[in-house]
Structure 1
Amino acid sequence: MSISDLKHALRKYEFPACAKEALIRIEQLLVGRAAPSTKQMDIAMDIIAEFVFCETDRRGGRRSVGISPLQELQLIDVICEYISACASETTKNTIFLSLFGGMESQRRLKVLSILASMAVSASSTPVLLAVGVWLQQMGCSSSQSLQLAENIIRDHFFLNTSNQMMLKSLANTAPQFVSNFITAVTELYMHDVQGTRKMPPRNLLEVITCWVYSNPTLCMSAQLNPAALPSGSIPMAAVTPLAGLVHWCALAPIYSGESTAPKLRFKERSNVEMADIQVPMKRIKLENDHIPKQGVPQKTVTEAELYTQLHLGVLHSLRAGRRTHGPPTAVNAQNLVGLTPHVQAYAHSLLKRGIKLQNDEKLQDCFDRIGQAVQVALANGCVYGNISNLLAALDTLPENRLLRIIIKTHQQTI
């Protein structure tokens, strides 16, 4: 069937029926044994623009007015129904990436944001897994991915706390989505933007803490379960959220306004090659409260205590990220280097006020958490990239006994 005949057949349908029929035709064009030709890709993109998102008219010209809010909901329902009915992960991801991949259109991003938010509400695993693949292929730190993450946070993590149990269950039903979502979220907070510093909302912090603390392999999910991509496509490397979470936990003592929470104590072995947590995870006490065995933070705990629990979860995740075969993939050394300017700036502000660095408990907590995370990551072979540069950057930080031991030990092994 020629492109003109195909379009003529689709124009017999009203919206949203034309969108539903278009998805079937797009699958016929793009899914097969061999990678689709450039001509097939162009035809599919034309069909998507005219019959799915109604961005062009029958002559190919751009429409100034997009679909209405009602039509957006109808289209989302059509896409949800199609994605949920897909028996093949490859087919599902092929169509989903064709609809939303490589896009610069704010209209499509709006539709995707609503679709993703509704999928979170409904715990729609097929759609969430497709969104997870989209985040990875777009890059979790891309502007589109960050905008999508912000929309999901706005819809589910600011004021609404009644749906926490549903949100926490996503780590079991759609772990790849959750892992890539956390990676994007860590890019949104604890960064200085035009003199202001955004801290994660309390509800978001609680849910992420529960996700990470309860499942040590969650942060590696996108790497452990490679996406089923269309033939001929280039898979983007999955980036774990571990480096971003190390940033959060290390900077929390100096960035948050609360008093510091109890420290995690490490005992030093004679060879200083490994660092073990003194107390088993389930016996850690936060002031006078026990952390529940399931890792669910109690509503009465402070944010400082949540960051302590999150830090513990990150350490266990770093241990779970050990690679038995192949090079390390969990944490980029350069991302850890990015911590040092923030810590140095805080230390400099203390010196300007005449405060001795060794007397500032928040700064020392920050140093300890950096040291603990770096030691566990290096001891378990989780770090890739220029480790020498990482150790040199840590060596520029003010004096801290744990950091000095770790730096000296690993400089001798490189």
Structure 2
Amino acid sequence: MSSSDAKHALRKLEFPFRAREALSRIEQLCTVHTGSHSHNSRQAELANDLITEFVFCEIDRRGSKRRKLTCIQELQLLEVLCDYLSYPGGNEAGRNAVFMFLFPGSHPNRSRLLVKLVSMAISTNNSPVLMATAILMQQLSCTSKFSLQLANGLVNDYFVLVPKSVDRLKELSKIAPLFTANFLTAVTEMYGCCYIDKNEGLEWKGPPVSLLEVITEWVSEQPNLCITALLVDLQPALPSGGIPMPAVTPYAGLFKWTVLSALYETDEKVCRLYEQLHLALLESLIDCIPSVSKRPEHIISAQHLAAIVPSILDTNYLKSDEQFHNAIDRLGQAVQLSLHTKSVYGNKQELLKQLEMLPINRLMNMVLNAHREAI
């Protein structure tokens, strides 16, 4: 069927039925390859045309902008997307290809809808939608602007605006482990130390306590959660010719939280949570090694660990000796266990050089002495 015929047939249908039919046609375009680059480019262009006009209704048949979907229409579209992605059988790679066309990361309004879609999927335990989202986050990078916007939207939905809904998330790590792991990697970028005013140095921005509680529970109960992205083979779920992007674990980001929290947090309950999370991360590193025994060194980036050092140094003059040495002790524990379990990849020599910039600390000196010659 030609492009004009496909559009003419879809225009005879009413919303949201035409959105569902359009998704099927888009999947056909995504799964049929001729080997001709120009032909595949035309297919991709038609797929985007169908999405713009018939799925999100962003333009009319003349190409003019249309009004935004009403709240009811948005809900209908979200239900269509959930049903489409979770329909039994079918071509998973084709559906994931469609999902990537739907949410390329360059449409603010679609990003807003994606947050609603994922929230709906979480509330209904729709693992196929969460899996498709996890793959998209990993392909675009879990630390990309797109993934951070998604993570921020979910944090607002579940931990800020409606904190009573947090209980729904406690089982998320079992229902959708890859999504949870990639969400963790994204959310660690949202909190920690940041410069509010260049003249006043770093300021601590900790995660909501309810989020910290859930994350601590996830990591404590599922030691392998943080390495999920390393264990899942994305190749079968990607379109033909798709290349899985390198996975990034949340270890360094979570260690950053636990280390820097020792410099800032004073609330006893919050301090205990960070202590529990720190211990859970250390135990997780030990427990997960058998699962990735072939390539354990790809778990934590040396660069990401080293990036914690400047944040400690920039706050030195503001903190007590006890706070300061507690932070260095935690970093020393993280580095020692990471190196001992051969979990670190990247420039380890540069990591040690950064650690040597820290003031004298007994535990850190032991770590440096133990690994200086071995690296």
TM-score with structure 1 setting the length: 0.83
Alignment equivalent of 1:91, drawn from 90, 94, 98 = 94
Contact 1:86/1:92 (<8 A) preserved: no
Deviates more, 1:208-217 or 1:157-166: 157-166
**Count of residues paired in the alignment:** 362
Deviates more, 1:247-256 or 1:157-166: 157-166
Contact 2:303/2:351 (<8 A) preserved: yes
Task: Assess, with a 3 A threshold, how the Cα gap between structure 1 residues 34 and 382 changes in structure 2: closer, same or farther.
Answer: farther
The corresponding residue for 1:107 is: 109
* One-letter amino acid of the counterpart of residue 218, structure 2: W
The corresponding residue for 2:139 is: 137
Gaps of 5+ in 2: 198-202
The corresponding residue for 2:74 is: 72
Alignment equivalent of 2:214, drawn from 202, 207, 211 = 207
CA distance in 2, matches of 1:169, 1:316: 21
Q: Offset at 1:126?
A: 1.1
Alignment equivalent of 1:251, drawn from 260, 264, 288 = 260
Task: Assess, with a 3 A threshold, how the Cα gap between structure 1 residues 207 and 237 changes in structure 2: closer, same or farther.
Answer: same
Alignment of 1:189-200 (within 5 A): 189-195=191-197, 196-200=203-207
Task: Assess, with a 3 A threshold, how the Cα gap between structure 1 residues 191 and 40 changes in structure 2: closer, same or farther.
Answer: same
Alignment equivalent of 1:57, drawn from 56, 60, 67 = 60
The answer as to 2:317 corresponding to 1:348 is yes
Task: Assess, with a 3 A threshold, how the Cα gap between structure 1 residues 135 and 12 changes in structure 2: closer, same or farther.
Answer: same
Deviates more, 1:115-124 or 1:385-394: 115-124
The corresponding residue for 2:84 is: 82
Contact 1:10/1:51 (<8 A) preserved: yes
Q: Offset at 1:327?
A: 6.3
The answer as to 2:266 corresponding to 1:305 is no
The corresponding residue for 1:271 is: none
Q: Deviations over 1:39-85 (max 9, x none)?
A: 111111111111101122213x2405322222111111100010110
CA distance in 1, matches of 2:162, 2:259: 28
Q: Offset at 1:336?
A: 0.7
Alignment equivalent of 2:183, drawn from 181, 184, 192 = 181
Q: Offset at 1:166?
A: 2.7
* One-letter amino acid of the counterpart of residue 302, structure 2: A
Q: Deviations over 1:246-295 (max 9, x none)?
A: 10111111121336xxxxxxxxxxxxxxxxxxxxxxxxxxxxxxxxxxxx
User: Once the two structures are aligned, what percentage of the paired residues are identical?
Assistant: 44
Q: Offset at 1:394?
A: 0.3
The answer as to 2:291 corresponding to 1:330 is no
Q: Deviations over 1:193-214 (max 9, x none)?
A: 4245321001000000000111
Give the 3-state SS of the residue equivalent to 1:397 in structure 2. Answer: coil
TM-score with structure 2 setting the length: 0.92
CA distance in 2, matches of 1:8, 1:126: 31
CA distance in 2, matches of 1:34, 1:257: 62
Give the 3-state SS of the residue equivalent to 1:412 in structure 2. Answer: coil
CA distance in 1, matches of 2:72, 2:195: 36
Contact 2:60/2:66 (<8 A) preserved: no
Contact 1:213/1:313 (<8 A) preserved: yes
Give the 3-state SS of the residue equivalent to 1:197 in structure 2. Answer: strand
Deviates more, 1:27-36 or 1:218-227: 27-36
Q: Offset at 1:183?
A: 0.5
The corresponding residue for 2:10 is: 10
Give the 3-state SS of the residue equivalent to 1:244 in structure 2. Answer: helix
The corresponding residue for 2:200 is: none
Alignment equivalent of 1:393, drawn from 329, 343, 354 = 354
Q: Offset at 1:37?
A: 1.4
Alignment equivalent of 1:40, drawn from 39, 43, 46 = 43
Give the 3-state SS of the residue equivalent to 1:191 in structure 2. Answer: strand
Contact 2:297/2:344 (<8 A) preserved: yes
* One-letter amino acid of the counterpart of residue 300, structure 2: V
Task: Assess, with a 3 A threshold, how the Cα gap between structure 1 residues 159 and 11 changes in structure 2: closer, same or farther.
Answer: closer
Q: Offset at 1:34?
A: 6.7
The answer as to 2:177 corresponding to 1:170 is no
CA distance in 1, matches of 2:98, 2:120: 19
Contact 1:117/1:151 (<8 A) preserved: no
Contact 1:34/1:231 (<8 A) preserved: no
The answer as to 2:226 corresponding to 1:223 is no
The answer as to 2:365 corresponding to 1:409 is no
Q: Offset at 1:347?
A: 1.3
* One-letter amino acid of the counterpart of residue 379, structure 1: H
* Greater fraction of residues in helix: 2
Q: Offset at 1:32?
A: 4.4
* One-letter amino acid of the counterpart of residue 6, structure 1: A
Contact 1:135/1:180 (<8 A) preserved: yes
Task: Assess, with a 3 A threshold, how the Cα gap between structure 1 residues 143 and 407 changes in structure 2: closer, same or farther.
Answer: same
Q: How well do the aligned residues superpose, as a CA RMSD in angstroms?
A: 1.8
Give the 3-state SS of the residue equivalent to 1:388 in structure 2. Answer: helix
Task: Assess, with a 3 A threshold, how the Cα gap between structure 1 residues 94 and 210 changes in structure 2: closer, same or farther.
Answer: same
Q: Offset at 1:161?
A: 4.5
Alignment equivalent of 1:375, drawn from 333, 336, 347 = 336
Contact 1:158/1:204 (<8 A) preserved: no
CA distance in 2, matches of 1:395, 1:327: 25
* One-letter amino acid of the counterpart of residue 380, structure 1: T
The corresponding residue for 1:280 is: none
CA distance in 2, matches of 1:34, 1:378: 48
CA distance in 2, matches of 1:198, 1:253: 13
Contact 2:249/2:299 (<8 A) preserved: yes
Q: Offset at 1:338?
A: 0.8
Q: Offset at 1:409?
A: 1.3
